[in-house]
Amino acid sequence: MNDLRIDRLRWWHLPAVAEMETAIFGPEAWSEGLLWTELSAGNDYRAVFDGERILGYAGTALNGDELWLNNIAVSAEARRRGVARMLMDDLIARGRAHGVKAVYLEVAVDNVPAQRLYDGYGFVGLGVRKNYYQHTGTDAAVMRMDL
């Protein structure tokens, strides 16, 4: 993990990302087709690379002065090595550069490690979306961080 870099996610990375999605999120994983749609829509997806290998990725959608964190994931073998923080620092810096006033996200209520990450960045809970994750019926906490 000496040669880590953040770069834009490209269409040719999508098979590896979809495989990672399945491994991490199971039935709630985004398909390669949905990821393709996200890129085609102009949403910004970044990945942390170790050489050519993707260790983690995050996608955002810019809407005026709001930035939505659509998804963020880190491969099991790269966790607890700062990859999520690299992605968060990058997306926050890019948001500030675009004049973003707030970052929003939804996170599964049972995903405690992710919630701890977001708490550390100053996100606050706004509410809960019941049965947000369709395949599992898991609720999602809606969070916001002001920039």
Kindly state the DSSP code that residue 13 receives in the 8-state scheme.
G
Contact (Cβ atoms closer than 8 angstroms) between residue 69 and residue 60? yes
Q: Which of 38, 45, 57, 106 is catalytic?
A: 106
Q: Where are the beta strands (DSSP E) in the chain?
A: 4-8, 44-50, 53-63, 66-74, 102-108, 124-133, 138-146
Decide if 118 is catalytic.
Answer: yes
- At position 65, the amino acid (one-letter code) is D
Q: Which of 118, 121, 132, 133 is catalytic?
A: 118
Q: List, by residue number, the catalytic residues.
A: 106, 118
